[in-house]
């Protein structure tokens, strides 16, 4: 997943990406400042201008469907609605703009702040604290103090707290969805789906809290009894990305709390507001002060504090492989446990015998969800030569119908990219492919809406040496590659250091089983483009990470096994 706890690592230009690879964690601050400067130079777009742009776009045949003749009026209405969302959220008490330490909402100790932007308009939503090492250390101390009483609660008691939190998340689904769209940009319908998905991890964790079982082992000696206990790891540092500002938090915090751990959450500086709203609801659910803490701001300082503290016993991180490696190295100093969900380069293999409609629909979902900004997005669409032309035509037609716009506009299915650096990265990847012989079948440039909107794009004749094949584009660009045989498809798919998710479309049951076994990925979808669920393990192999999130397997990431030997049992 091309996202990082060093802000905007995933959206860097090629030159910046090389610097990040060669540098140290501390260089992320320079990149953060640069990206923030870029964001500050973006001028807010007045509603009238945005409506005018949308009116012009609707008259064009590409990208925006002509299905709604009233769209210009609707766009004005929804743009105005977007401006009022912040005030409604503030009235509801969910628009928090302070960190949470020990149950108290606090500013940065030096009063520094950072701005949170609406990526669809460039407008400032609010300021949040730019916290650093001192605040993080206090949050760690708070979590450490809360750990003993929280872990001593019965599993049933912790389950009840989590259930209340889940109920509140669902009760405020509409507000949380609006907040996600406001600060992250994804369409409101998709944001509401994330709320349901994210809340599902809290519900599942509430249920699994009561099913953390140990073992009794038959002893080899008559006077001994052998037991295995499972106990909470301790304080957990949870570093989360911007592309799923709720779900990536609940997927980590839910099982941590269920097992008896306490947490310090470090959300992305691009999307901290959803994390703060979720934390507010955790407090309303009665979860004791200090069990959940939230700090944001100076990413390197926060990360260094989490890594250096002996009170933090585990780091769980979703982000880029480059930063994951640095966290692994940093965790070695105190021998912390780490769970890492890192970069992907997902292949989507379309065999000649695939159902064309199923393949188009599944690939569309796997590629363009969240404007292509997910860790499991299809990064390479690998199509067998017998169906290549037919698939390319059908897929391009489907992509052409995707409605692009502000996430609050009715019918929109693709919002903006997260910031200017992200769209520059997409542009550089597309330019690289074209320079090496690839052909743009659809799109291939910035959208007429301006800002960070990019046209849904399909590129044909992509080769393995192009950046689109080697690295995550993390944007709405679908590269098409040809293959001849099943063996070649597997070779192309596995020719990467990543191994998070892969997709297969075929009607041959034997082939689906063979290929699924041969693919070096932690997740494989067969004739399905949306595979994530709280009840199944999520994670990768190779350089896509360590550990699993979700399901009963995800609970084990927050538990230590303790072997107890009880001797002299035959004595009176």
Do residues 480 and 537 both lie within one domain?
yes
Q: How confident is the model at residue 49, as a pLDDT?
A: 36
CATH of the domain at 497: 3.40.309.10
With vertex at residue 56, the alpha carbon angle to CA 50 and CA 58, rounded to the nearest 5 degrees, is 100
Instruction: Single out the residue of 538, 12, 89, 539 nearest to residue 323, CA to CA.
Output: 12
CB-based contacts of 329, cutoff 8 Å, min separation 6: none
Is residue 559 within 8 Å of 231, Cβ to Cβ?
Answer: yes
Distance CA 2, CA 342 (A): 8
Tell me, what DSSP letter sits at residue 404?
Answer: B
Domain boundary residue among 304, 320, 341? 341
Do residues 428 and 527 both lie within one domain?
yes
CB-based contacts of 166, cutoff 8 Å, min separation 6: 199, 202, 203, 206
Strands 457-460 and 439-442: antiparallel
Name the 3-class secondary structure at 287. Answer: coil
Q: How confident is the model at residue 89, as a pLDDT?
A: 85
Instruction: Tell me the mean pLDDT per 10 residues along the chain, length 572.
Output: 33 36 36 42 37 32 31 38 75 93 98 97 96 98 98 98 98 97 97 98 98 96 97 98 98 98 98 98 98 97 98 97 96 97 97 98 98 97 98 98 96 97 98 98 97 98 96 97 98 98 98 98 98 97 97 97 96 79
In a domain, 557, yes or no: no
Do residues 353 and 263 both lie within one domain?
no
**Token pair of 373, please?**
């900004």
Do residues 381 and 501 both lie within one domain?
yes
Do residues 104 and 173 both lie within one domain?
yes
Q: Which of 208, 269, 301, 341 is catalytic?
A: 341
Domain boundary residue among 321, 341, 361? 341
Is residue 346 within 8 Å of 501, Cβ to Cβ?
Answer: yes
Q: How confident is the model at residue 82, as a pLDDT?
A: 60
In a domain, 43, yes or no: no
In a domain, 62, yes or no: no
In a domain, 95, yes or no: yes
Do residues 393 and 525 both lie within one domain?
yes
Run of H or E including 348: strand 346-350
Which pTM does this prediction carry? 0.86
Do residues 111 and 173 both lie within one domain?
yes
Do residues 497 and 418 both lie within one domain?
yes
Helices 188-208 and 173-184: crossing angle, nearest 10°? 120
Domain boundary residue among 298, 322, 341? 341
Do residues 261 and 402 both lie within one domain?
no
- Segments forming the whole domain that contains residue 457: 346-542
Q: How confident is the model at residue 562, as a pLDDT?
A: 98
Query: Catalytic site residue 135?
Result: no
Tell me, what DSSP letter sits at residue 342?
Answer: -
Distance CA 4, CA 29 (A): 12
Find tokens 């100076």 and name the residue. 298
Do residues 129 and 263 both lie within one domain?
yes
In a domain, 163, yes or no: yes
Do residues 332 and 352 both lie within one domain?
no
Q: How many helices (H) and strands (E) does the chain have?
A: 19, 20
Q: How confident is the model at residue 75, as a pLDDT?
A: 36
Do residues 331 and 428 both lie within one domain?
no
> How many structural domains are present in the chain?
2
In a domain, 13, yes or no: no
Q: Compute φ and ψ for 449, nearest 5 degrees.
A: -70, -15
Tell me, what DSSP letter sits at residue 41?
Answer: T
CATH of the domain at 296: 3.40.605.10
In a domain, 151, yes or no: yes
> Which sign does the torsion angle of CA 310, 316, 319, 323 carry?
positive
In a domain, 398, yes or no: yes
Q: How confident is the model at residue 68, as a pLDDT?
A: 30
Tell me, what DSSP letter sits at residue 267?
Answer: -
């Amino acid at each position: 997943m091309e996202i990082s706890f060093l802000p905007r690592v995933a959206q860097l230009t090629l030159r910046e990406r090389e610097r990040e690879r060669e540098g140290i964690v501390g260089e992320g601050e320079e990149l953060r400042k640069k990206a923030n400067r870029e964001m500050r130079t973006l001028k807010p777009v007045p509603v009238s201008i945005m409506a005018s742009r949308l009116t012009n776009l609707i008259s064009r045949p590409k990208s925006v469907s002509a299905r709604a003749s009233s769209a210009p009026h609707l766009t004005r209405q929804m743009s105005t609605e977007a401006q009022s969302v912040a005030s409604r959220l503030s009235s509801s008490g969910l628009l928090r703009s302070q960190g949470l330490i020990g149950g108290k909402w606090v500013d940065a100790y030096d009063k520094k702040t950072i701005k949170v932007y609406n990526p669809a308009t460039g407008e400032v939503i609010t300021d949040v604290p730019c916290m650093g090492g001192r605040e993080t250390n206090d949050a760690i101390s708070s979590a450490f103090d809360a750990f003993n009483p929280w872990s001593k609660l019965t599993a049933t008691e912790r389950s009840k707290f989590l259930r209340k939190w889940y109920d509140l998340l669902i009760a405020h689904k509409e507000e949380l969805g609006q907040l996600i769209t406001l600060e992250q940009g994804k369409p409101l319908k998709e944001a509401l789906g994330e709320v349901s998905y994210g809340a599902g991890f809290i519900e599942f964790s509430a249920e699994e809290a009561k099913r953390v079982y140990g073992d009794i082992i038959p002893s080899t000696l008559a006077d001994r009894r052998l037991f295995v206990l499972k106990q909470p790891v301790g304080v957990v540092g949870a570093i989360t990305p911007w592309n799923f500002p709720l779900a990536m938090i609940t997927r980590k915090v839910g099982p941590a709390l269920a097992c008896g751990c306490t947490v310090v959450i470090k959300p992305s500086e691009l999307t901290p507001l959803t994390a703060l709203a979720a934390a507010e609801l955790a407090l309303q659910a009665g979860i004791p002060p200090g069990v959940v803490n939230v700090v944001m701001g100076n990413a390197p300082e926060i990360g260094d504090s989490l890594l250096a503290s002996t009170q933090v016993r585990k780091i769980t991180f979703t982000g880029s492989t480059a930063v994951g490696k640095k966290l692994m190295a940093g965790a070695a100093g105190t021998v912390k446990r780490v769970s890492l969900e890192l970069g992907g380069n997902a292949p989507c293999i379309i065999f000649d015998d695939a159902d064309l409609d199923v393949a188009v629909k599944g690939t569309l979902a796997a590629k363009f969800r969240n404007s292509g900004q997910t860790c499991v997005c299809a990064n390479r669409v690998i199509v067998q030569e017998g169906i290549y032309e037919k698939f390319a035509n059908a897929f391009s037609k489907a992509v052409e119908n995707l409605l692009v716009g502000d996430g609050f506009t009715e019918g929109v299915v693709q919002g903006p990219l997260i910031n200017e650096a992200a769209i520059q990265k997409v542009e550089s990847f597309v330019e690289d492919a074209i320079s090496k012989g690839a052909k743009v079948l659809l799109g291939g440039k910035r959208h007429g809406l301006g800002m960070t909107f990019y046209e849904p794009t399909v590129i044909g004749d992509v080769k393995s040496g192009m950046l689109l094949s080697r690295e995550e584009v993390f944007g709405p660009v679908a590269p098409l590659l040809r293959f001849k045989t099943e063996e070649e498809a597997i070779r192309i798919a596995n020719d990467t250091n990543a191994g998070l998710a892969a997709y297969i479309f075929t009607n041959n049951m034997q082939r689906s089983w063979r290929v699924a076994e041969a693919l070096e990925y932690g997740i494989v979808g067969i004739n399905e483009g949306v595979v994530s669920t709280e009840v199944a393990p999520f994670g990768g192999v190779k350089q896509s990470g360590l550990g699993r999130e979700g399901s009963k397997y995800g609970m084990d990431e927050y538990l230590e096994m303790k072997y107890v030997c009880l001797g002299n049992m035959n004595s009176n």
